Amino acid sequence: MAATIESIWKNFQANKFEPVYFLFGEEAYYIDLIENFISENALEPHEKDFNYSMFYGKDADVISILNEAKQYPAFANRRVVIVREAQDIKIKDWEIFEKYFEQPVASTILVFAHKNKALDKRTKIAKLIEKKTLYYESKKISEDALPQWILGYVKKKNFLIANDAAKLLSESLGNDLSRITSEIDKLSVLLAENATITSEIIEKYIGISKEYNISEFNSAIIKRDYTKAMKMVLYFEKNPKAGQIIPIIAYMYNHFSKLFVLHQLKDVKMATQAIGWIPADVSNGVKYYSLPKTLNILHLLCEYDAKSKGLYATGNSSNADLLKELVIKVMN
């Protein structure tokens, strides 16, 4: 049965756990959050020696996982079996769990953390998982919703954050919730309770500048301001935390994808209805980049994303060198 993070958390607070959790999706943050809560709270510390097992999908023997799940707890009320990287379990190996999913051991909590990929919903096992397990999909938060999510997270930590500071974090770190929460958690150690996180605090303690950040860099690219863009590349080279190439490319790809749709539909309202929020920079980008050029840039971004991840040979080129190359090719 499908579940929400709110319903899962409500049951956790009532000390209620399901026999089987299937956690999947592109957003690792909530998958890790649920898995960690179960690992840390379903058993007392002294119960873990005999009642806690962890497997990794790529290396795991599925029969061993099944046997662990079938065992009854020793000197405790529950057993916990965690399977990380469950996306690496071979499709044919999932079939061994079919009977177990139909009749799981009530005293076992079996957790599959299946990140980034989803099972083929047409298969028998996928339909069974959706029907018989607690089935949670962890989706990426949209770019326009991210500042509000940050405001909510900071509030839960008993702090405040200025709107421009939340925007700065979201635009600089992208929708990587694990990284965002990690940086906010670091600030919570340094600041007094109920303090307000400002852009100045973010620049001082996290190293993200109001002037030199991914959003401002993207704005310079969209406006074809070559001098400003290259100046920012040099700043990023000296201050890697302020602008790392993978989130920069992801941010650019998101904006140029929207520019591509805007070119196709030739109307901001229609494009907004089709793909959601259209930033002002993207709307202005129509006069700087033609449709063919926009398509070429999208191909370039895919190419340099692969290069930045080591998928293509780049010689001794650093990420800063790759970013300089990309700026030159985009603006030519």
**Cβ contact 85:115 at 8 Å:** yes
Sheet containing 20-25, strands listed edge to edge, beginning at the edge strand earlier in sequence: 52-56, 79-84, 108-115, 20-25, 134-137
Say yes or no: 218 and 331 in one domain: yes
3-12 pLDDT, tens digit each: 999 999 999 9
Say yes or no: 120 and 228 in one domain: no
pLDDT at 313 over 70: no
Say yes or no: 270 and 326 in one domain: yes
For the chain, the average pLDDT equals 90
180-203 pLDDT, tens digit each: 999 999 998 898 888 999 999 998
Average pLDDT over residues 221-233: 93
Of 114, 137, 160, which residue constitutes the final position of a domain?
A: 137
Domains held by the chain: number: 3
Say yes or no: 272 and 165 in one domain: no
34-49 pLDDT, tens digit each: 999 999 999 999 999 9
Say yes or no: 174 and 185 in one domain: yes
pLDDT of residue 57: 87
pLDDT of residue 72: 95
Query: Where are the extended beta strands (E) located within the chain?
Result: 20-25, 52-56, 79-84, 108-115, 134-137, 160-161, 196-197
Say yes or no: 203 and 222 in one domain: no
Say yes or no: 290 and 327 in one domain: yes
- CATH value at residue 246: 1.20.272.10
Domain membership of residue 109 as a residue range: 5-137
Residue 45, number of CB atoms within 10 A of its CB: 7
267-300 pLDDT, tens digit each: 777 777 777 767 777 888 888 999 999 999 999 9
Say yes or no: 152 and 127 in one domain: no
Say yes or no: 89 and 159 in one domain: no
Q: How many CA atoms within 13 Å lie on the side-chain side of 55?
A: 25
